[in-house]
């Protein structure tokens, strides 16, 4: 009897789609095993073989886990910090390897995904998929009509002009303004830099949505596992999981 598990079955078990879909991925040349383009009928040892889809490594042996964290301010978005600062992983009390999807600045609060699914993480953060992220911004300064138009239309930054954004003014007075901003890029400190370009100083920043997910029912500093339906929606955003 041939050793190992059928490749398409292993990919499907890892959450990369139905078995038929995984077969189509293999037939189209998107899958490699130990650096060689895979063929339908190949078998793999899920504990030893290196399997990639579109060049991105896929963990076949690990049960995939997904959590939604409501990040407080003061935590670094990384697994470990060489300077000994608190990281978001200090808030996650689960066994096994996990990591955050993307980044939130130390002083930024709100929705952050935690998982061990490297492929989905890569796809969600890839610019081609344009996953929407919504923030509530409290800032010092008054936002003019021209400034609002600039935020919506694109702000020139060192690495290029930002894409169009959805921006709502939730409130404004002599001390500052409250905005809701939805972007689909992931540039470093993007919202803060966009606001600074129109004369606003961000004093509080909260990510309230990531794609189909929101913070409803999750207190700051707490987290919860995602349901199967939520994971399915995230895979759809990432291109249907490959």
Active site residues: 105
User: What is the C-alpha to C-alpha distance for residues 197 and 222, in angstroms, rounded to an integer?
Assistant: 33
User: What is the C-alpha to C-alpha distance for residues 122 and 115, in angstroms, rounded to an integer?
Assistant: 11
Taking each helix axis from N to C terminus, what angle separates 118-125 and 228-237, rounded to the nearest 10 degrees? 50
**What is the three-state SS of the chain?**
CCCCEEHHHHHHHCCCCCHHHHHHHHHCCCEEECCEECCCCCEECCCCCCEEECCEEECCCCCCCEEEEEECCCCECCCCCCCCCCEHHHHCCCCCCCEECCCCCCCCEEEEEEECCHHHHHHHHCHHHCCCEEEEEEEECCCCHHHHHHHHHCCEECCEECCCCEEEEEEEECCEEEEEEEECCCCCCHHHHHHHHCCCEEEEEEEEEECCEECCCCCCCCEEECCHHHHHHHHHHCCCCC
Query: Do the beta carbons of residue 60 and residue 13 sit within 8 Å?
Result: yes
């Amino acid at each position: 009897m041939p050793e190992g598990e059928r490749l398409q079955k292993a990919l499907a078990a890892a959450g990369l789609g139905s078995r038929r879909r995984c077969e189509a991925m293999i037939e189209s040349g998107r899958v490699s095993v130990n650096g060689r383009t895979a063929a339908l009928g190949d078998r793999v040892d899920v504990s030893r073989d290196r399997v990639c889809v579109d060049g991105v490594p896929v963990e076949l042996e690990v049960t995939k886990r997904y959590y939604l964290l409501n990040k407080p301010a003061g935590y670094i978005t990384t697994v470990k910090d060489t300077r000994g600062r608190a990281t978001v992983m200090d808030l996650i009390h689960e066994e096994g390897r996990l990591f955050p999807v993307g980044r939130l600045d130390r002083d930024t609060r709100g929705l952050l995904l935690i998982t061990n699914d490297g492929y989905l993480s890569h796809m969600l953060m890839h610019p081609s998929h344009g996953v929407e992220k919504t923030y509530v911004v409290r800032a010092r300064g008054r936002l003019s009509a021209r400034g609002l138009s600039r935020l919506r239309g694109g702000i020139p930054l060192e690495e290029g002009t930002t894409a169009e954004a959805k921006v709502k003014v939730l409130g404004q007075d002599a001390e500052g303004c409250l905005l809701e901003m939805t972007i689909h890029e992931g540039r470093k400190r993007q919202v803060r830099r966009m606001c600074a370009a129109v004369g606003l100083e961000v004093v509080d920043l909260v990510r309230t949505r990531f794609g189909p997910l929101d913070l409803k029912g999750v207190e700051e500093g707490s987290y919860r596992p995602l349901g199967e339906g939520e994971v399915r929606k995230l895979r759809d955003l990432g291109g249907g999981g490959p």
